[in-house]
């Protein structure tokens, strides 16, 4: 399958500050792709380059097969984006805004506009002035303007900003519908993993302009869970067990209190062997249980803190 968005060795500096050292990635039609990364990771910079708002220093970007540098217009007519606050006329109603943007394009009927208004969930407020809109309502109207052109690639920078939980769910449904039913290539950014987990089919984790992991949402959690699990032990004298463990294994044991410690274990075989040996050495185990499951949030924090060292090996496979 040909990628709809292809980024190759993209580089961008601001003065001496390297925002994107070297970014290569692909996004396909029919998927919601999430750019996930902490503040300053380079999400907006990448998105601005993709939407022609910023020029890259080096590298190649292709959209629907057109090179952004050489065939700027052809590439960008495929793209609909909301990067900064959408430009809206606040003294006009939502509907008049849409009509005005519709006039700039050909063949957009009122019927089509109504459909879009319905889709973004603004039907009951569309005739009010935009200055009376909440942030979330403006976002919805901005999305409506963007959708008018039926873009093949839809790019939204932090689209859930200002949306309430119901609004976030609604947006999620819209984006999934566009990707999965209309085959649109949807790219969103966020620093909230919990949100990306529900919204995206794949996420790319960005840290200091480097893509340290691209995977299907489920797979990121699986690899993280396969890697290590933390077990909570309830024993009689935790300090004795911990020092015995440290002497005999290269394991990470952390004493919590007189009767509890936590141990990070690679796999079930290791767990069985360690438990057996703890008991054979005269200690008593009252309970052992896995700590709560690793969340995408934990994985994300760990990856971005370490700069992705732990993941490098996975990508090489
Ligand atoms: N116009 C600019 N001039 C100088 N440095 C910039 C400029 N725009 C971005 N940067 C720097 O580039 C890096 C990436 O910024 P970017 O805005 O892309 O991050 P982000 O991932 O979108 O972060 P956030 O989650 O805060 O929106 C940051 O270190 C930022 O300070
Ligand atoms: Mg940003």
pLDDT tens digits, 128-145: 999 999 888 898 999 999
For the chain, give the percent of residues with pLDDT over 90.
58
CA 220 to chain centre: 12
Whether 45 has a pLDDT exceeding 90, the answer reads yes
Whether 72 has a pLDDT exceeding 70, the answer reads yes
CA atoms 292, 296, 301, 302: torsion sign: positive
Name the residue with the closest Cα to ligand 1, atom 12. Answer: 19
Q: What is the mean pLDDT of residues 70-94?
A: 88
pLDDT at 114: 95
pLDDT digits (tens, 9 = 90+) for 254-300: 999 999 999 988 888 889 999 999 999 999 999 999 886 556 666 67
Q: Which atom of ligand 1 is nearest to the CA of 37?
A: 21
Asked if residue 265 lies in contact with residue 271, where contact means CB atoms within 8 angstroms, the answer is yes
Contact residues of ligand 1, CB 6 A cut-off? 14, 17, 19, 37, 39-45, 191
pLDDT at 317: 35
Name the residue with the closest Cα to ligand 1, atom 25. Answer: 39
0.85 cut: is pTM over it? no
Structural domains in the chain, CATH included, are 3-223+299-305 (3.40.50.300), 229-290 (3.30.70)
Residues 230, 225: Cα–Cα separation, whole Å: 10
């Amino acid at each position: 399958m040909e990628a709809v968005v292809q980024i190759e060795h993209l580089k961008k500096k601001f003065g001496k500050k390297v925002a994107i050292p070297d970014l290569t990635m692909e996004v396909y039609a029919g998927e919601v792709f999430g750019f996930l990364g902490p503040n300053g990771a380079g999400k907006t910079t990448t998105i601005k380059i993709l939407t022609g708002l910023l020029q890259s220093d080096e590298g190649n970007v292709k959209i629907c097969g057109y090179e952004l540098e050489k065939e700027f217009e052809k590439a960008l007519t495929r793209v609909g984006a909301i990067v900064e606050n959408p430009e809206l006329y606040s003294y006009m109603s939502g509907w008049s805004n849409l009509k005005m943007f519709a006039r700039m394009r050909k063949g957009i009927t009122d019927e089509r506009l109504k459909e879009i208004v319905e889709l973004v969930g603004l039907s009951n407020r569309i005739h009010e002035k935009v200055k009376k809109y909440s942030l979330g309502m403006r976002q919805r109207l901005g999305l409506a303007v963007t959708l008018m052109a039926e873009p093949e690639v839809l790019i939204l920078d932090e689209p859930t900003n200002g949306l309430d939980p119901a609004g976030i769910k609604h947006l999620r449904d819209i984006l999934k519908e566009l990707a999965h039913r209309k085959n649109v290539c949807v790219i969103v950014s966020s620093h909230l993993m919990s949100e990306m987990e529900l919204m995206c089919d794949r996420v790319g984790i960005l840290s200091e302009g480097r893509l340290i992991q691209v995977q299907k949402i489920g797979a990121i959690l699986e690899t993280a869970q396969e890697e290590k699990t933390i077990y909570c032990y309830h024993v009689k004298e935790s300090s004795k067990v911990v020092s015995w463990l440290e002497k005999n294994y290269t394991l990470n044991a952390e004493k919590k209190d007189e009767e509890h410690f936590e141990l990070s274990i690679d796999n079930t075989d290791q767990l069985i062997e360690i438990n057996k040996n703890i008991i054979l050495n005269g200690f008593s185990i009252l309970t052992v249980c896995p700590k709560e499951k690793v969340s995408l949030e934990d994985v994300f924090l760990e990856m971005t803190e370490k700069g992705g060292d732990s993941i490098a090996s996975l990508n090489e496979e």
